[in-house]
Structure 1
Amino acid sequence: MKRIFCFLFLYIIANLAAIAQQDPQFSFNRLTQLTVNPGFAGNDGLITGIILNRYQWDGIKGSPQTLVFSAGGATNILGLNSGIGFNVISDELGFSKNISVSFDYAYRAKTRIGELGIGTSIGFYNMSVNGDWYIPESDVHGTINEPGIPQGEASQLAFDVGLGLFLKSKDYYFGASVTHLNQASLILADQARSFLARHYYLAAGYNITLSDPLFELHPSVFFKTDMVAYQLDCTVDLVYKKRFSAGLNYRINDAVCVLVGFEMNNGLKIGYAYDLMTSALAGYGGGSHELYLSYSLDLGKNRIKKYKSIRYL
């Protein structure tokens, strides 16, 4: 356990003293696209809200815990076909905690290859660090004597901006976005300085109707990088009657994930994902758990269209 704590300790110091705070990762990355791509807002013509909770590296104290609330919908602003969104993310890791709040706007235009959303997000990012530390399952505790870590508690609020494009047709989608575009500085103490590095995202998916029209196959890929490290998720979901789904996700050099979801009632959905670690941490703890609850509301449109939303796995 002490070895794991040291790993988390060094990981947080590296983020503070070196370049950036890594954006949290999700197994249900098709559901959380609004949090990283404002062009996604209003893409399905519905009003949709989602609450998602992720517990990463179960059994390792101080491991990442992430809570997300995201909501968005289609609207008309000054005669323009638009989408709006709102996101709140709380991300904890060891003695650091980050909270971000963002508002999204997307202009939506029909093209020959699908509907294109061009969006921007503005918001705030708050990083807080508690320099008082302890080793789990030990009496050893105290204050970190490290110039790059503030003594006691410290926090910094920064302005944050993002941009994104999202193209969607009946059978496929493609998204490209960048978060932390302005690379805001975070100064927690005289020598405790960091900044939000830009993160670049690419997402693509396709819907395949099988020989039995009750079944669909939804392959997708999700890529992100801060130009130092990268993460690639490859996912395949099998959907039955547009309401029940089961899938597998492979995150390169990190985990194999099992995903399930179903619609409990008209517009109400629930899903669960379990990540089986394949990285060096596999021998120190359990996998990661992810649970979401979402609700979609169709104001005056055909209810059948609701099930075509890519938000459903």
Structure 2
Amino acid sequence: MLTFPLRFGIRHGLAAGLLLGVVSGVRAQDVFFSQPFATRLHTNPAFTGLVDDYSVTLGYRNQFPSLAGSFITGQLAADVRLNTKGQHHALGLLINQDRTGSVGYTRFEAGALYAYHTRLTPQLALSGGLRASYGRQRVGYDNFVFGDQILEDGSVAGPSAESLSFPPANYLSLGTGAVLYTEQAWLSVAGQHLNRPDLGFRNQSTLPISFNVSGGYKFFMVKPSTGIAVREVSFTPVASYTRQGSSQRIETGAYFLASPVTLGAVYRNISAPGNVNPQNLLAVVAGVQAGGLRVGYSYDVGLTQLSADLGGAHELTLSLSAFDRLENAYRRLKKRVYPTAPCPVF
């Protein structure tokens, strides 16, 4: 038997219990981001090398910030499009770490990505990607109080006699995906954890396959030209559907770009079959780009009581990237260039 420290309160204990249920193996789930295009390698390995010649992105997400021991995710992503004949090949690296203080839970995952780009027609291109990741998951119980530690007067003393020997779980995860795109539209399909890795500590607990389909269309009001100094004004509606195990997530929203500022709003519905109380959130996104530097911030606003009680989420991304527009213009003249991927960058 275990109890949560009294300082958590009822609401905090409930949220920590929900997190523990995820960790202990009934239904393990992936973290999701409110800036899916800044963290696009997490969504689909086929985005590797698709938006920039190369980029390095740092991401930070603090979910349930109003709770003690909120769920925190850090991400490092990097990709490069190889300057080989035809520029077909791209390589990437993706590192994620999830942790929460309330249950002493950490999950570390490092993956290598590869994407192959090809042009199907002068206006239509296809990118296919693969991802292989090594993961390590562990749980510590330093923040828990067990029944045998509570004295008659209610004070806590001594170590627990409970068995706390839970060796870390190591696993291999495989994923794949494809992106079909023109200069104004894209469609992304991806599957992660295709081998259903086991994350259990004592009992088997498989990580369900995650399936995602997303897309969007960019309407140009001012279309960027070739060269160094470019200006763009555009409006991009987006939609996404993700299913993992028994849960599903539906997202619809739009981004408005007036260089160098991007503003976006995405409605998110998270539910499970038979769940009469789905989570409804609105993610508000703002980003600015100065040369090769991009900074984005988003906040999840809870639209239902549970979402509001959990406290939403803060998310921050920082990206350094390069895209040679003059070289791109030269390749366009030689008809050896791919369409520019139209997806947002935040």
Write the distance in 2 (CA, Å) between the matches of 1:46 and 1:236.
Answer: 25
2:178 is equivalent to residue 165 of structure 1: yes
Write the distance in 2 (CA, Å) between the matches of 1:269 and 1:173.
Answer: 22
> TM-score under structure 1 normalisation?
0.85
CA contact (8 A) 1:132 1:144 kept: no
Q: Which has the higher strand share?
A: 1
Write the distance in 1 (CA, Å) between the matches of 2:155 and 2:254.
Answer: 46
Q: Which residue in 2 is equivalent to 1:296? A: 321
Larger radius of gyration: 2
2:138 is equivalent to residue 131 of structure 1: no
Write the distance in 2 (CA, Å) between the matches of 1:60 and 1:281.
Answer: 13
- C-alpha RMSD over aligned residues: 3.0
Q: 1:210 aligns to what SS in structure 2?
A: strand
In structure 2, the gaps of 5 or more residues are 1-7, 146-153, 225-231, 270-278, 330-337
Q: Which residue in 2 is equivalent to 1:227? A: 245
- Mapping for residues 231-310 of structure 1, pairs under 5 Å: 231-241=249-259, 243-252=260-269, 253-263=279-289, 265-284=290-309, 286-298=311-323, 301-302=326-327, 310=343
CA contact (8 A) 2:253 2:265 kept: yes
- Mapping for residues 103-122 of structure 1, pairs under 5 Å: 103-112=112-121, 114-122=124-132
Aligned residues, how many? 303
Deviation at 1:134, TM superposition (A): 3.4
Moved more, 109-118 or 96-105: 109-118
Q: 1:31 aligns to what SS in structure 2?
A: coil
Give deviations 1:112-154, integer Å, cap 9, x for gaps. Answer: 362211111112011111133338xx97697696xxxx71553
CA contact (8 A) 2:124 2:339 kept: no
Q: Which residue in 1 is equivalent to 2:150? A: none
Write the distance in 2 (CA, Å) between the matches of 1:212 and 1:178.
Answer: 33
1:300–1:215 distance in 2 versus 1, CA, 3 Å: closer
> TM-score under structure 2 normalisation?
0.78
1:282–1:21 distance in 2 versus 1, CA, 3 Å: closer
Deviation at 1:219, TM superposition (A): 1.1
Deviation at 1:257, TM superposition (A): 1.7
Write the distance in 1 (CA, Å) between the matches of 2:284 and 2:161.
Answer: 39
1:302–1:282 distance in 2 versus 1, CA, 3 Å: same
In structure 1, the gaps of 5 or more residues are none
User: Aligned letter for 1:133?
Assistant: N
CA contact (8 A) 1:200 1:226 kept: yes
CA contact (8 A) 2:268 2:282 kept: yes
Q: Which residue in 1 is equivalent to 2:219? A: 208
Aligned-pair identity in percent equals 20
| Alignment equivalent of 1:86, drawn from 86, 89, 93 | 93
Write the distance in 1 (CA, Å) between the matches of 2:302 and 2:155.
Answer: 29
